[in-house]
Amino acid sequence: MNAFAADEMMAIESSRRLDDGTVCFVGIGLPSVAANLARKTHAPGCVLIYESGTIGAKPSELPLSIGDGELAETADAVVSVPEMFAYWLQGGRIDVGFLGAAQIDRHGNLNSTVIGDYDRPKVRLPGGGGAPEIATEVKDVFVMLRQTRRAFVDRLDFMTSRGDNVRVVVTDLGILEPVDGELTLVQVHPGASVGDARDATGWELRVSETLGTTPSPTEQELHVLRELEAAVDRRLESVRRAVALGEADRLAVLGILAEQAAAESARLSALRRVQEALGALEDAVQRPIDGTVPSFKFPEAPQRAAKESR
């Protein structure tokens, strides 16, 4: 059996559930990995729609965000977000929508709004965004979520999205599907057990009478998946290098500016010293005029007296 990580099992099992021609609403992260893995293996005709408005995107590498230029460059069409939601989503043209959440209950309802009381929450989450519409307008909702008691709760702190269209919940331990309106464990992944799944669930988890084991990832699935992830790592490394170079350039510019500022400060200091010296010199020149230094007069009165005596 090939060694694999829990996230790899989640992505691979989700990708297996996408067929050639499936129109899929995708988000960044594991949903994007699963959808692109399907497109590069058994479902090359899977149509990927990202929330940024790219229809039929065919990225050669996993996008770093919904605004990644790779999505727009490879898409069949790029539409506005209102058009994408109104025409494509509300028009019933999307088969599968991937969703995640902070909490899920036994009926597949999701919370991505708050943890705790709404008015005084312990944590205020990013919110629903387009999730409530996706949950009600696509034909099938696929949820990808690590299975813990904090996430799989008996009662949601807040209902962001209804679980009516949830068809499968893929976790790191197994697969849950709705049976008579309640999520039921139908498969456990290799290395996991029913006990593990029950211990990680906040309600009394039902187990299917026909419980199966998820097939292990094939060598091809793991190879393609890891190539996709390696390409992302290379892109991120390029971004980090660019940022580092940008930081080096910024520091160099700051260094030049600091030198220029020091030189200007020295110039101004020298100018002030010259101005002070000139002021002192001007004061010294003006002192005899303003009487600060005594001036002398020759007496004239005795000379007049001598003339009068003659």
Q: What angle do CA 164, 102, 66 make, to 5 degrees?
A: 85
Whether 109 shows a pLDDT value over 90: the answer reads yes
Q: Are 50 and 87 in contact (CB under 8 A)?
A: no
Q: Which of 3-12, 233-242, 283-292 has the lowest mean pLDDT?
A: 283-292
Q: Are 51 and 130 in contact (CB under 8 A)?
A: yes
Instruction: Bin 144: left if φ > 0, else alpha if -120 < ψ < 50, else beta.
Output: beta
Catalytic positions, written as ranges: 51
Classify residue 172: in a domain, yes or no. Answer: yes
Tokens 């992302």 correspond to 232
Mean residue pLDDT across the chain:
87
DSSP conformational letter for 90? T
What's the pLDDT tens digit per position in 54-89? 999 999 889 888 888 889 999 999 999 899 999 999
Classify residue 33: in a domain, yes or no. Answer: yes
Q: What is the DSSP string of 34-65?
A: HHHHHHHTT-TTPEEEETTTEES---SS--SS
C-alpha Rg value of the chain to the nearest Å: 39
pLDDT band with cut points at 50, 70 and 90 for residue 11: very high
d(CA 250, CA 207): 59
Classify residue 67: in a domain, yes or no. Answer: yes
Classify residue 305: in a domain, yes or no. Answer: no
Q: Which of 21-30, 33-42, 256-265 has the lowest mean pLDDT?
A: 256-265
* Number of domains making up the chain: 1
Q: What is the pLDDT of residue 65?
A: 87
Q: What is the pLDDT of residue 104?
A: 97
What's the pLDDT tens digit per position in 268-286? 777 777 777 777 777 666 6
Domain containing residue 79: CATH number:
3.40.1080.10
pLDDT band with cut points at 50, 70 and 90 for residue 180: very high
Q: What is the pLDDT of residue 275?
A: 75
Give the residue numbers spanning the domain of 157.
6-237
CA atoms within 13 A on the CB side of 170: 23
Classify residue 283: in a domain, yes or no. Answer: no
Classify residue 247: in a domain, yes or no. Answer: no
Calculate mean pLDDT across residues 115-122.
93
Classify residue 265: in a domain, yes or no. Answer: no
What's the pLDDT tens digit per position in 252-272? 777 777 777 777 677 777 777
Classify residue 285: in a domain, yes or no. Answer: no
